[in-house]
Structure 1
């Protein structure tokens, strides 16, 4: 009998998360009119930086050094995007700069999702490659947040550990200042959250360590997940849970858009703040949490 792991990644994604899969396709194939060359540039630049297969393109990449430099740094380490790179992008692209950043997020993260799922499951399968004209990418980004939020297989503590690990790797100030109300209600506190920075040696469960290690792998080495890591994920997660975990990691990485544009300031000047994500993807910010 074939295992559920023995299906192509495309089939596993659609089976476990059909709504999220559809929105991910929109991110992969959405093309804003007049931005074909810039979108192709983002897709080629991000893929080359990461060693991944680029999203489909049907135009030649534009010649835009500032846009290429921004996309490369966004992919490699968004926390190191400089003010000068941001200003150069806005000077070069004007009012198209914001839309270009969303195209970079899609070019940066959809291939990571596809590669990780292909490694966990039995190859990639057939991903859609037809570009579709859209008025803008933000509706797909917002739709993706909501679709992933509606997946409920993973417990809130694990989900929050993964989110915080990504927030600290991307150095998102707002994300680092937030704490999940459901995770705290389930018993998680700052002692547990502080241990994320040294999760390999802290007292996490094997399931939690596998999730945190996969977070790091998708962020820093998406083209080369280790066999041991893939085996640990398969051991401690069901196929549907693994799909949700991969999607969670990619959804959290939308913080790179804000970080890259220096728009990730925390809403509280000191301390922390509780939050909760609703089924429609909307974030409700709660009370300030005092620490120390």
Structure 2
């Protein structure tokens, strides 16, 4: 688990040149929106109502980011819009992961030694963190896919909803099982482990400051420590879809039906 923890620490240390005040703003805003402890920030927060409004909606319910909110954010952020959106994702989801680790009794994210002014947040999140988590294999592929699809619906990511991971399909995942994710408490196709995982997913997404101890105990009764850690990071990796959803860039690659892909051994998706 050393590499994922190291990457989480590096995410907390991000404070890119020229974006320190905006980074402080989104860190404070996202935490206030979720009731969690904000990530530390370098310097005072910027006074930018458009960025604040965008970050608040991003954290609260990204699927409801309006066209007006998006346009105002893009106008204010300018050429840094993508980087600021990624920083917003970090501000939003790293505290959720820490809350999950806390309630599961797993080691906390280590503190950073100092501020990182030089690393590109886009590269760190999308090209390093996401594939590192994608390459983890403690969880079985069907549970991994069930968790991914729950996040896809909760964040209303059109691309994610259109995808089906091939290893999970080969391991017994079916469309009827996946349809049952929306009614998992009464499903006859999803087992008790799936239900425990999905309750945890929902808690991380909607009530991260109030994850019930019995819910966490239920998860730990079905999953080992490495599995529970991977599941927690899977929720964050999947939630990177919030970046595309918030910017209106989540269109599916197919016009109808679903598209099969494979999650490679390097954690990168392989299409076609």
Q: How does the TM-score come out when normalised to structure 1?
A: 0.90
2:77 counterpart residue number: 93
Q: Does 1:232 align with 2:232?
A: no
Provide the residue aligned with 1:112 in structure 2: 96
* Equivalent residue number for residue 146 of structure 2: 161
Residues 8-27 of structure 1 aligned to structure 2 (within 5 Å): 17-27=1-11
Note the 1:1-292 alignment, pairs <5 A.
17-121=1-105, 124=108, 126-128=110-112, 130-141=114-125, 142-203=127-188, 204-286=190-272
Deviation, 1:124, is: 4.0
Residues of 2 paired with 1:48 and 1:130: CA distance? 24
Task: Report the Cα offset of residue 25 of structure 1.
Answer: 1.5
1:195–1:202 Cα contact (<8 Å) kept: yes
Secondary structure of the residue aligned to 1:179 is: strand
Residues in 2 aligned to 1:50 and 1:123: alpha-carbon distance in whole angstroms: 22
CA distance in 2, matches of 1:122, 1:214: 15
* Matched position secondary structure for 1:274: strand
For residues 156-175 of structure 1, give each alpha carbon's deviation from its aligned partner in whole angstroms, at most 9, with x where no partner exists: 00000000000000000000
Cα distance in 1 for residues equivalent to 2:138 and 2:31: 31
The alpha-carbon deviation at position 135 of structure 1 amounts to: 4.0
**CA spacing shift, 1:236–1:160, aligned 2, 3 Å:** same
Number of residue pairs matched by the alignment: 270
Unpaired segments of 5 or more residues in structure 2?
A: none
Cα distance in structure 1, aligned partners of 2:40 and 2:3: 21
How many Å separate the matches in 2 of 1:242 and 1:86?
A: 35
Q: Which runs of 5+ in 1 are unaligned?
A: 1-16, 287-292
Q: Which moved more, 1:45-54 or 1:270-279?
A: 270-279
Report the Cα distance in structure 2 between the residues aligned to 1:195 and 1:29, rounded to whole angstroms. 40
Q: List per-residue Cα deviations over 1:186-208 (Å, max 9, x = no partner).
A: 12110000000000110221111
* Counterpart-to-counterpart distance in 2, 1:183 and 1:139: 28
Q: 1-side partners of 2:158 and 2:28: how far apart?
A: 29
SS in 2 for 1:131: coil
Distance 1:94 1:187 in 2: 46
Contact 2:10-2:112 at 8 Å conserved across structures = no
Q: Secondary structure at the match of 1:103?
A: helix
SS at match of 2:261: strand
Using a 3 Å threshold, how does the CA distance of structure 1 residues 195 and 129 change in structure 2: closer, same or farther? Answer: farther
